[in-house]
């Protein structure tokens, strides 16, 4: 005897469900008596609750759709379980083998999740489903969070205004994709395209091959105390310097980090200030330097750069960072004059930091006015 599958969470969102299943599968609304859908770490969990009712969809997938669904749910550690509700209705649901603690959990609301992550999750899911033929599931389970971050950056980019006071005005047919490949996909990923692009004479180029490192968007933040005329910098080991055989792999930088899915650049900057430097800041203290692509020929990352006007602590050399990410980050509070010395001597080698230093030098007089 077969049982239908009950979808109670994000797969109730039709575009996401279509990306997972790959073909049409009728889904019908039903209710499960004696269950509720609650939030855990931003995502839905089905919890037993006498007298409650869980809203959802029921579907009966074909063999291919079921295989795709099993793969997708497995990325998050979910497996299929048979449950029976208070009305003796039996369905399969995807859930973890061990339920997380749900004391005082709030109801999970689909529309709230869709507003924040619906578009990005749909893009990321289409990407991960396209990779399943070429990469093992355990690799793609590690890859998915970064795919979601990259998808969030794509959603953000699509909403941005593209100024064209000097550069050409782009048209939808200016880039013609021919083929796409993903030669590497693990935590990070590489995408390669054969494509044609519009030349300045109006013709299309021959087919060319380009490859890029797929990244999320990121933020940098340079805290500045206008009263004491000092800044806070961070120092940490950097793997890229090690691979280049640099004589010193410890880098002086502004506070920096990736923008998490569902975060705004401002929220990410405030979070990173807390994690990397132990600073509790408010959004009102941030001055936007701008946004820029550090290496647009081969990296998708877009940086949102800020200066934070705030009171800074004494130079205590405190070490911060997330243990879960093996971060070991030392903070330095130094004078503006010392900051300029670092820029001129070459000890400050980090590109975004240099941009922030020069922006601060340009605006310092204004920022110091009472």
Residue 251 to residue 248: CA distance in whole angstroms: 8
Respond yes or no: is residue 365 known to be catalytic.
no
Catalytic residue among 160, 280, 323, 325: 325
Cα(77)–Cα(104) distance, rounded to whole angstroms? Answer: 23
Can you tell me the distance from the alpha carbon of 177 to that of 193, in angstroms, rounded to the nearest whole number? 7
What is the DSSP code (8-state) at residue 41? T
Helix/strand/coil (H/E/C) assignment for every residue in 185-253: ECCCEEEEEEEEEECCCCCECCCEEEEEEECCCEEEEEEEECCCCEEEEEEEECHHHHHCCCCCCEEEE
CA-based R_g, the chain, Å = 25
In 3D space, the residue among 197, 194, 188, 199 whose CA is nearest the CA of residue 211 turns out to be 194
Query: Pick from 187, 195, 207: which is nearest to 138 by CA?
Result: 187
Helix (H) or strand (E) holding 16: helix 14-21
The catalytic site residues sit at 325
């Amino acid at each position: 005897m077969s049982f239908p599958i009950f979808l109670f969470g994000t797969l109730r969102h039709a575009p996401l469900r279509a990306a997972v299943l790959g073909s049409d599968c009728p889904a019908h609304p039903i209710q499960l008596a004696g269950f509720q859908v609650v939030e855990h770490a931003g995502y839905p969990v089905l919890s037993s609750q006498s007298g409650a009712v869980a809203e959802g969809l029921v579907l009966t997938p074909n063999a291919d759709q079921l295989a795709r669904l099993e793969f997708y749910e497995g990325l998050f550690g979910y497996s299929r379980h048979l449950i029976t509700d208070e009305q003796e209705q039996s369905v399969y649901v995807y859930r973890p083998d061990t339920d997380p603690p749900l004391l005082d959990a709030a109801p999970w609301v689909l529309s709230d999740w869709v507003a924040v992550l619906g578009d990005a999750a749909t893009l990321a899911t289409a990407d991960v489903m396209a990779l399943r033929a070429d990469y093992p599931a355990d690799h793609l389970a590690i890859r998915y969070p970064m795919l979601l971050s990259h998808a969030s950056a794509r959603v953000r980019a699509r909403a941005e205004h593209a100024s064209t006071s000097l550069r050409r005005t782009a048209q939808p047919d200016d880039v013609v994709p021919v083929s796409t490949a993903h030669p590497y996909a693990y935590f990070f990923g590489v995408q390669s395209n054969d494509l044609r692009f519009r030349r300045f004479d109006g013709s299309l180029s021959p087919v060319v091959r380009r490859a890029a490192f797929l990244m999320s968007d990121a933020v940098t933040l340079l805290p500045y105390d206008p009263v004491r005329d000092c800044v806070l910098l961070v120092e940490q080991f950097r793997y890229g310097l090690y691979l280049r055989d640099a004589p010193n792999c410890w880098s002086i930088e502004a506070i920096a980090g990736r923008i998490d899915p569902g975060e705004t650049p401002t929220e990410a900057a405030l979070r990173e200030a807390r994690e990397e430097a132990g600073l509790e800041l408010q959004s009102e203290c941030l001055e936007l330097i701008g946004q820029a692509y550090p290496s647009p020929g081969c990296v998708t990352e877009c940086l949102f750069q800020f200066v934070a006007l705030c009171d800074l602590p004494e130079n205590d050399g405190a070490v911060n960072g997330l243990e879960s990410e093996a971060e070991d980050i030392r903070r330095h509070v130094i004078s503006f004059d010392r900051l300029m010395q670092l820029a001129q001597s070459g000890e400050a080698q980090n590109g975004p930091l240099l941009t922030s230093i020069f922006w601060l030098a340009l605006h310092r007089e204004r920022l110091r006015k009472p």
